[in-house]
Amino acid sequence: MKKTILNFAIIIAAVVSGCTNEKKQKADVDKDFAAFEDTFLDAYWKQHPSSAIFAGYGKYYDLLVIPDANAVASDIAFSNAWIDSLNKIDLNALNDNNKISYKIIKNQLESDKWYLEVFKIQEWNAANYNLSGDCDYIINQEYAPLDQRLRFLSKHLEHADQYYAAALRMLTNPTKEHLNLAIKQNLGGVSVFSDALNDSIKASGLTEDEKSTLEINIANTKTAMTAFADSLKKIVDDKNRQFKNFRIGKALFTEKFKYDLVTDLTPEETYRKAMEDKAMYLQKMVKISEELWTKYYDKQPRPKDDLQAVQKVIDKIMDQHASPKDFFDTLTNQVYRLKKFIIEKDLFDFDTLNPPIKVRLMPEYARGFAIASAEFTPPYQKQGTTYYNIDDLTKYPPEKAEGSLREYNNYGSQLLSIHEAVPGHCVQGIYNNKKSPDIVRAVFQNGAMIEGWAVYAESMMLENGWGGNVPELELIHYKLKLRELANVLIDYQIQCLDYPKDSIIHLLAVECFQTQAQAEEKYNRATLSQVQLCSYFTGATAINSLREEYQKKMGDKYSLKNFHEVFLSFGSSPVKYIRERMLDTR
């Protein structure tokens, strides 16, 4: 680490002293910044080797940081040193793209520091500690030949017992909710060391010695993971123990909101806007339910209670769905039609869809989280394929399949394909990998921009006539909007306002038309994360207002395609930074 900082000091000296000719100086500053970025990123991955694995940066996969007090101190010192170095760079001298990269790096370092020094996540979130994610990536990412990956895996696992022992010592103030999550995830994570992996090891080119060392390291890791889960279980079962409240409170929530989402809006402003939108969408839904009532209920009287009436119409629309067997083909066909639509309507550059998005059945390792997902190659492996994964519903128990199919009915499934694939996550991911000039925004990607884009895409497609404005699609669309804004409402109510569970369930199930099972699941998720649930609504709100401002700025020269192309060219950067560049505000 010392050596890297030394190298870096030399680069900074060059940036600061510069040369006399201003034009030349400007170019030099940007060139130096590019060099700075490389040095910084390599140092960052060495400092955070587990994060390097998720970015696909193969160099440090053999390293494993033991999460003890030394590691925390070293991480904080690392952030401080690099923040100091950033402060020596003249931000205003950098070009537009580098200005964004500079700000992203700074936010990342300040955020890393805050998580350890103020949020102290290492002391209370037991789910922080789990080696199975690292291993899953080392085993399944094909960034290097299998033999090399297996050697990395062996090294990575060499001190798994020390890793878990340190984790247990670090957890001085755990919450019960995160203890339970960590128990579940570590016990479940053992399955990453599967029979298929054993077969690969046997068939590999490793020497007999290497093979037996790897097998011993895997066996020890499995033991350490199970022992860790057992120890956590003892803590959970300790009747005399006081647990930390999982609710983080308004002060920490406000700071986390700023670091995670990178927005000028406060949580209160966002909460208020979500409340207003809720009333607005509800009004529209009541109106549609009046229009559709006789179509579905003939002469049956409409319930006096508007919420009930809306729910009853939604029930009938949800009856209209594919069979488990047809679901995959239905979505594949939607993607084809969505692509055709965005080209016909001239919403994006034609070459966006080259190489194409591959629609496929969800691979085994990705199952169990969602019915469909977008999958990208990690940032450092740009040449890979973008997938729209769709789960095989014929493998679900019938009741579960029916529940999913009702949610992703003939209308809901269209919005799912827009959100996940075209022009939502898959399309945005292609821009991020292919068209964005800088790796920084791919490795430190902003979740609010990514989710905000997918949510923005839902409404944008309908505005442009997708689905022919049928009232059923509109009603299901508004139901989805309620889900997205309810994420903000419940996150804030739970974390900052101390609302009890039954009030949250009522909001979701009665006022936002979700099933009891969905409401329960969402409540549990909201006890385990903070701020993340706000990213969808916050991101989409920021994109919509940026579009309005950009249209004003461009006047006659504005087109929707132009907005999309310029906006997406900045990769997965925070919308706030993209806005500064697109409107040239600072």
Residues forming contacts to Zn ion in the complex (CB under 5 A) are: 451, 454
Residue written as token pair 């009436």: 309
| Beta-ladder partners of 358 | 387
- Is the Cβ of residue 89 or residue 454 nearer to Zn ion in the bound state? 454
- Is the Cβ of residue 127 or residue 448 nearer to Zn ion in the bound state? 448
Task: Name which of 440, 466, 464 is nearest 380 in CA terms.
Answer: 440
User: Do the Cβ atoms of 467 and 442 come closer than 8 Å?
Assistant: no
Q: What is the DSSP string of 556-567?
A: GG--HHHHHHHH
Cα–Cα distance, 392 to 360 (Å, whole number): 10
Helix (H, G, I), strand (E, B) or coil at 389: strand
User: From the CB of 448, what's the least distance to Zn ion, in Å?
Assistant: 11
Cα–Cα distance, 545 to 558 (Å, whole number): 15
User: From the CB of 63, what's the least distance to Zn ion, in Å?
Assistant: 32
User: From the CB of 450, what's the least distance to Zn ion, in Å?
Assistant: 7
- Is the Cβ of residue 171 or residue 512 nearer to Zn ion in the bound state? 512
User: From the CB of 424, what's the least distance to Zn ion, in Å?
Assistant: 7
- Is the Cβ of residue 184 or residue 325 nearer to Zn ion in the bound state? 325
User: Do the Cβ atoms of 440 and 57 come closer than 8 Å?
Assistant: no
User: From the CB of 329, what's the least distance to Zn ion, in Å?
Assistant: 18
Cα–Cα distance, 296 to 288 (Å, whole number): 12
- Is the Cβ of residue 391 or residue 451 nearer to Zn ion in the bound state? 451
The upper half-sphere exposure of residue 456, i.e. CA atoms within 13 Å in the direction of its Cβ, equals: 28
User: From the CB of 475, what's the least distance to Zn ion, in Å?
Assistant: 18
Alpha helices in 370-464 (DSSP H): 398-407, 412-420, 425-434, 440-443, 447-463
The upper half-sphere exposure of residue 248, i.e. CA atoms within 13 Å in the direction of its Cβ, equals: 23
- Is the Cβ of residue 101 or residue 428 nearer to Zn ion in the bound state? 428
- Is the Cβ of residue 37 or residue 451 nearer to Zn ion in the bound state? 451
User: From the CB of 455, what's the least distance to Zn ion, in Å?
Assistant: 7
Tokens, residue 309:
């009436």
Q: What is the DSSP string of 224-269?
A: HHHHHHHHHHHHHH-TTPPPBPS--HHHHHHHHHHHHH--SS-HHH
- Is the Cβ of residue 427 or residue 454 nearer to Zn ion in the bound state? 454
- In which region does residue 197 sit, left (phi positive, over 0), alpha (psi from -120 to 50) or beta (all else)? alpha
User: From the CB of 294, what's the least distance to Zn ion, in Å?
Assistant: 22
Tokens, residue 74:
């070293």
Cα–Cα distance, 132 to 31 (Å, whole number): 39
User: Do the Cβ atoms of 30 and 97 come closer than 8 Å?
Assistant: no
- Is the Cβ of residue 127 or residue 454 nearer to Zn ion in the bound state? 454
- Is the Cβ of residue 372 or residue 443 nearer to Zn ion in the bound state? 372
Q: How many other C-beta atoms are found inside a 10 Å radius of the C-beta of residue 525?
A: 14
Helix H or strand E segment including 23: helix 22-47
Tokens, residue 304:
């006096």
Tokens, residue 522:
């969402």
User: From the CB of 127, what's the least distance to Zn ion, in Å?
Assistant: 21
Using Cβ positions, the residue closest to Zn ion within the complex turns out to be 454
Phi, psi (deg, nearest 5) at residue 121: -60, -30
Cα–Cα distance, 413 to 176 (Å, whole number): 36
- Is the Cβ of residue 18 or residue 403 nearer to Zn ion in the bound state? 403
User: Do the Cβ atoms of 388 and 418 come closer than 8 Å?
Assistant: no
User: From the CB of 313, what's the least distance to Zn ion, in Å?
Assistant: 16
- Is the Cβ of residue 454 or residue 582 nearer to Zn ion in the bound state? 454
- Is the Cβ of residue 85 or residue 334 nearer to Zn ion in the bound state? 334
Cα–Cα distance, 218 to 100 (Å, whole number): 42
Q: How many other C-beta atoms are found inside a 10 Å radius of the C-beta of residue 354?
A: 9
- Is the Cβ of residue 407 or residue 451 nearer to Zn ion in the bound state? 451
User: Do the Cβ atoms of 424 and 457 come closer than 8 Å?
Assistant: yes
User: From the CB of 526, what's the least distance to Zn ion, in Å?
Assistant: 17
User: From the CB of 318, what's the least distance to Zn ion, in Å?
Assistant: 8
- Is the Cβ of residue 347 or residue 455 nearer to Zn ion in the bound state? 455
DSSP letter (8 states) at residue 410:
T
| Beta-ladder partners of 375 | 387
Cα–Cα distance, 573 to 262 (Å, whole number): 10
Angle separating helix axes 425-434 and 560-568, nearest 10 degrees? 60
Cα–Cα distance, 193 to 219 (Å, whole number): 9
User: From the CB of 540, what's the least distance to Zn ion, in Å?
Assistant: 11
